[in-house]
Amino acid sequence: MRTLVVGAGATGGFYGGRIAQLGRDVTFLVRPARAEALRRNGLQIISPLGDATLQPQLITGDELRAKPQPFDLIILAIKAYSLTQAIEDLAPAVGPGTTILPVLNGILHLDLLDARFGAERVIGGTCRINSDLDREGRILQLSTLGDFTFGERSGEMTPRIERIKQEIETPLFKSIASTDVLAAMWHKWYVLAALNILCLLPQGTMGEMAAVPEGLSFANTAILECIAIATANGYPPPQAIVDTDRKRLTQPGSDLTSSMYRDTKKNAPVEADHILGDLLTRGDAHNISAPLLRATYVQLKVYENRRSQN
């Protein structure tokens, strides 16, 4: 199986790198500057499960357009604000038998990919990993969490899902072939939205938020807002999962933060519309009141406007 990983950042670089460590045929579709850095320094993963440095196969969008070639599997692991350009870049890699596996947050991207490539080529996917890029471009896995979930949106366990499972199976992350991948995507979405509310409004870590008066009440309210929207859209998270999520998001002394919070500290682009705005829209469609989610979205849009003026 020929696999193209679109993006070699904190998510794509980690999963693609770990799959490449298996000796699989993995190529990274990256921007020219990232390609130059990876050729110079290699793809470096720093992880509690073991560090690695690889010399990956690389291709840029211009190179792929100049020499179109089909891949069997395309793992799309970029930020939502890069999606439009990524679709144009990866298009020459899509052939009759190509499967596209996006692991973006939320679900808005599925509509865009379906419209361009056909719903039959696009499966569902999500991941749970706490990772970042450092100033040297190294991929930092900040905990042992690394679940990678994928599956047919119809819920069928098809031969192509079984082939993908076999291709990417590794002890270095947990791969889950799901028969309810949309529920997994909604679960990740509600947790991520809540995490962003809890970081961005108080401007701190989970531990800092939980340690102040009214912190836990604030956290529970934010979590319930996001659960209400997921439930109204037909994807209520099981209570056992909610209990685990709530414990993780209110852990005393935790240094957990969201990647979007960390992006604001770097004055980097953020996924305000894809993660918070679209969730808010889907809540409004069911008359769900979500004032904390709305306040966080407004804060991020102010941040985006201010950033665009600098």
Task: Please give the positions annotated as active site.
Answer: 188
Tokens 């991929």, residue located: 139
Q: How many CB atoms lie within 10 A of CB 46?
A: 16
The CA distance from 135 to 30, in Å, is 18
Structure tokens at 172: 């270095």
146, 143, 105, 129: which is closest to 255 by C-alpha? Answer: 143
The CA distance from 72 to 129, in Å, is 25
176, 195, 287: which is closest to 246 by C-alpha? Answer: 195
Question: How big is the chain by its Cα radius of gyration, in Å?
Answer: 19
Q: Which residues of 138-166 are buried (b: 16+ CB within 10 A; e: fewer)?
A: bbebbeeebebbbbbbeeeeeeebeebee
β-pairing, 124-133 vs 99-102, is unpaired
- Give the total residue count for the chain: 310
The CA distance from 161 to 178, in Å, is 9
Residue 182 · residue 124 · CB < 8 Å:
yes
Q: How many CB atoms lie within 10 A of CB 234?
A: 9
